Amino acid sequence: MILRMSSLFVRTLRDDPNDAEVPSHRLLVRAGYIRRIAPGIYTWLPLGLRVLRKIEGIIRDEMDAVGAQELSFPALLPKEPYEATGRWSEYGDNVFRLQDRKGGDYLLGPTHEEMFTLVVKDLYSSYKDLPLSIYQIQTKYRDEARPRAGLLRGREFVMKDSYSFDIDDAGLEVSYQKHRDAYVRIFDRLGFDYVIVKATSGAMGGSRSEEFLARAAVGEDTYVRCTQCDYAANVEAVAVRPPAVISYDETPLAHAEETPDTPTIDSLVDHLNATFPREDRPWAAGDTLKNVLVVLKHPDGTREPLAIGLPGDREVDQKRLEGQLEPIEVEAMTESELAKHPSLVKGYIGPAVLGEESASGIRYLVDPRVVEGTRWVTGANVAGSHVIDLVVGRDFTPDGTIEAADVRDGDECPHCSEGTLEAARGIEMGHIFALGRKYAEALDLKVLDESGKLVTVTMGSYGVGVSRAVAAIAEGTLDDIGLCWPRDVAPADVHIVAAGKDATIFAAATELAEALSAQGIDVVYDDRAGKVSPGVKFKDAELIGVPTIVTVGRGLADGTVEVRDRASGERLEVAVADAAAHLTGLVRG
Ligand code: ATP
Ligand code: MG
């Protein structure tokens, strides 16, 4: 088919949209692929829609190849199934809720585990019907707190979601592996540079879960890889390996000391080394125990204070903390909330007043490194004083542990403990979960097994961000002159520029466009006559990013056209007579 620039519904823009935070967003708007309607809500223009459809096609292909069957649910859904699984409230502010004229509650589906579970319950009743994998490519709605970067985090977006149904755990493992293999093929075909990392299961519940992250500096996810072994995990899922319990027989008794003018951890450490030197080595920031107060906001609105104890050389990583606690959200404790606990002396809070059994009654969870026998310098609950040599298990016992401390380059690998971790950023493109029986139990999905007994079905859930992929592929391939699509997802195969005023140029360009189209090759043909200069046409071709740009212009006098590779910039003169065959060869690979 031929998309003629003279009539194609597109206007390329010279200026960047002012809300664009990342290059892909800027270029997708400038090149006329998408238009913003409201925060996180976009219109697909013809070029954008073509890329979206290509990506959908690849995903569909690979899902069908592993025997998954496509169906399609509505986005507008009744409340009841989501109430049955608790997600109507757990999803909190992220769900778009609405009412019909009779006052009935509805939502716009943020994800469809409930609906898939119910349709299987509706139609299937026997182990003979399983295993089953079904999927849809459909529009999802989430009222994201921070819609950003155009299609990367939308409030309306396209997702491929599939679900597997098995009679037992062994079956689920097979279904999970099949999906994982299909995802590898999908992301290979989409041309991503990606990593597969361990993930947390979050609000989904379930056991095993992995994410497919496209490596990208603009990504919102941070993952780590080991320098020695094959360990790779989203930082949210990193479980620190706790050090061995230490004997504290020889450790001096705890003693509170005045530590004036030590507002920061560094100043405290300097003061300790000058005034209370340690016998074996100098004090370091990691010897201090910092206690951070936060408030857990439960989905039902209740606010619960929580104290987190961690080594003073680390910070609380909000995403890691929330990853453990989902669907609970975490906020800083306000001054007025702090004031309700007179035992807490700001800046000098120590374990003596923390814990469910303590004066404050505030639950106290510590970093896994804070194990029995470790000795700490921490707040003495008196302004201007710290307690030194406070030992876990001897002087205080926390209520438990939590993974809240930031993970850093150089941290010990929790898997092999020989290598160290290296951190990088990525965009979450896909997520696969071995869900288990949570949804099947909540919605009572049971089938008869071989012996005629009713058993609960076990499920997997597998998502791909389809609209997000458009932006992520753009992000990974663009250069300083524009978009630069991999051939398999490009909106067209060849972009022909008729460069010049001569009728012979237009005649030759038209003939080439038609010859290619007749071969089933998709062509953008810049046939604009009149005032549109070759310079403008080239700029547009570079911006739009079709992988092969053909110039029919000056060379025509010598019987040639110029074929240029958009990505490498390589140019080749090809005889007009051979052009169609040459290009067909290029496109077909
Ligand atoms: P994120 O951590 O990025 O919010 P998620 O964990 O909420 O993602 P899932 O619920 O697992 O995502 O959804 C499956 C896939 O849908 C994700 O892997 C991602 O590619 C895509 N996705 C999720 N939220 C959005 C969004 N707001 N905009 C575009 N794509 C999204
Ligand atoms: Mg999300």
Q: What is the pLDDT of residues 534-563, one digit of tens each?
A: 999 999 999 999 999 999 999 999 999 999
Q: What contacts 235, CB < 8 A, 6 or more positions away?
A: 221, 222, 223, 224, 317, 319, 320, 406, 407, 423
pLDDT category of residue 205 using cuts at 50, 70 and 90: low
Q: What is the 588 CA–ligand 2 centroid distance (Å)? A: 38
Structure confidence by residue, pLDDT tens digits, 258-298 = 998 888 999 999 999 999 998 889 999 999 999 999 999 98
- 430: which strand partners? 212, 464
Pick from 14, 53, 50: which is nearest to 33 by CA? Answer: 50
Q: Which residues of 180-205 are buried (b: 16+ CB within 10 A; e: fewer)?
A: bebbeebbebbbbebbbbbbbbbbbb
Ligand 1 pocket member 206 (CB < 6 A): no
> Can you list the alpha helix ranges (DSSP code H) found in 276-329?
318-325
- State both tokens at 579: 């052009």
In this prediction, residue 120 carries a pLDDT of 97
Pairing of strands 41-44, 132-141: unpaired
3-10 mean pLDDT: 96
Share of the chain above pLDDT 90, in %: 87
CB-CB contact of 92 with 299 (8 Å):
yes
State whether the beta carbon of 363 lies less than 6 angstroms from ligand 1. Answer: no
Q: Is pLDDT larger for residue 17 or for residue 467? A: 467
**Residue 579 and residue 561: Cα distance in Å, rounded?**
7
Strand order in the sheet with 105-108: 76-78, 105-108, 96-99
Rounded CA separation 62/56 (Å): 10
Which listed ligand is nearest to 140 at the C-alpha? 1
d(CA 93, CA 324): 19
pLDDT bin (cut points 50, 70, 90) of residue 206 is low
Please work out whether the CB of residue 222 comes within 6 Å of at least one atom of ligand 1.
no
DSSP 13-54: -SSPPTT--SHHHHHHHHTTSEEEEETTEEEEPHHHHHHHHH
Between CA 156 and CA 534 the distance in angstroms is: 38
pLDDT at 65: 98
Mean pLDDT score of the chain, rounded to an integer? 94
Q: Whose CA is nearest to atom 16 of ligand 1?
A: 465
For residues 347 and 267, give the distance between their C-alpha atoms in angstroms, rounded to a whole number.
Answer: 13
Residue 151 and residue 470 in contact, taking contact as beta carbons nearer than 8 Å: yes
Distances (CA, A) of 264 to 13, 131, 258, 376, 382: 50, 59, 15, 16, 16
Evaluate: CB of 160 within 6 angstroms of ligand 1. Answer: no
Q: Among all ligands shown, which has an atom nearest to the Cα of 142?
A: 1
- CA–CA gap between residue 114 and residue 442 (Å, rounded): 9
Report whether residue 25 contacts ligand 1, using a CB cutoff of 6 Å.
no
- At position 571, the amino acid (one-letter code) is R
87, 96, 144, 159: which to mutate for ligand 1, most atoms within 8 A of CB?
159
**Pocket of ligand 1 contains residue 428 by CB under 6 Å:** yes
Counting ligands in written order, the one closest to the CA of 432 is 1
Torsion of CA 568, 574, 576, 579, to 10 degrees: -60
Contacts of 429 (CB under 8 A, 6+ apart): 187, 192, 194, 212, 213, 214, 464, 465, 468, 469, 472
Q: What is the pLDDT of residues 95-149, one digit of tens each?
A: 999 999 999 999 999 999 999 999 999 999 999 999 999 999 999 999 998 898 8
Task: Determine the residue type at 208.
Answer: R
Q: How far apart are CA 233 and CA 224, in angstroms?
A: 6
What pLDDT score was predicted for residue 208?
Answer: 86
- Name which residue sits closest to atom 14 of ligand 1, judged by CA: 463
Give every strand in the sheet of 571-575, ordered side by side.
2-4, 523-526, 494-498, 548-552, 560-565, 571-575
* Pocket flag, ligand 1, residue 290 (CB < 6 Å): no
**Which stretch of 3-12, 70-79, 182-191, 340-349 has the lowest confidence by average pLDDT?**
340-349
Say how far apart CA 58 and CA 45 lie, in whole Å: 20
With beta carbons less than 8 A apart as the criterion, state whether 360 and 291 touch.
no
Given a contact cutoff of 8 angstroms between Cβ atoms, the answer to whether 299 and 288 are in contact is no
If you take atom 26 of ligand 1, which residue's CA is the nearest one?
153
From residue 482, how far is each of 475, 485, 549 by CA, in Å? 10, 10, 13
Residue 64 pLDDT level (bands cut at 50, 70, 90): very high
- Ligand 1 binding pocket includes 465 (Cβ within 6 Å): yes
Q: Does the beta carbon of 153 sit less than 6 angstroms from any atom of ligand 1?
A: yes
Angle in degrees, CA 62, 465, 45, rounded to 5: 100
The ligand with the least distance to the CA atom of 143 is 1
The rounded Å distance from CA 237 to ligand 1 centre is 16
pLDDT at 170 over 60: yes
Pocket test for ligand 1, best of 209, 222, 468, 470 (most atoms within 8 A of CB): 468
The answer on pLDDT for 202 being more than 60 is: no
Least confident of 214-218, 415-419, 486-490: 415-419
Q: What is the pLDDT of residue 323?
A: 84
Rounded to the nearest whole angstrom, what is the distance from the C-alpha of residue 472 to the centroid of ligand 1? 13
* Residues 406, 226: Cα–Cα separation, whole Å: 16
pLDDT of residue 93: 87
Phi and psi based region of residue 40 (left: phi greater than 0; alpha: psi -120 to 50; beta: remaining): left
User: What tokens were used for 275?
Assistant: 């005034």
Q: Contact at 8 Å (CB) between 220 and 183?
A: no
* Ligand 1 site, residue 159, Cβ cutoff 6 A: yes
Pairwise CA distance, residues 244 & 138, whole Å: 49
Contacts with 568 (C-beta within 8 Å, 6 or more apart), sequence order:
none
As a whole number of angstroms, the distance between CA 485 and CA 544 comes to: 9
320 C-alpha to ligand 1 centroid (Å): 17
Decide if pLDDT at 372 tops 60. Answer: yes
Ligand 1 centroid, distance to 200 Cα (angstroms): 13
Contact 160, 59 (CB under 8 A): yes
Q: Is residue 463 in contact with ligand 1, taking CB distance under 6 Å?
A: yes
Q: Whose CA is nearest to atom 31 of ligand 1?
A: 465
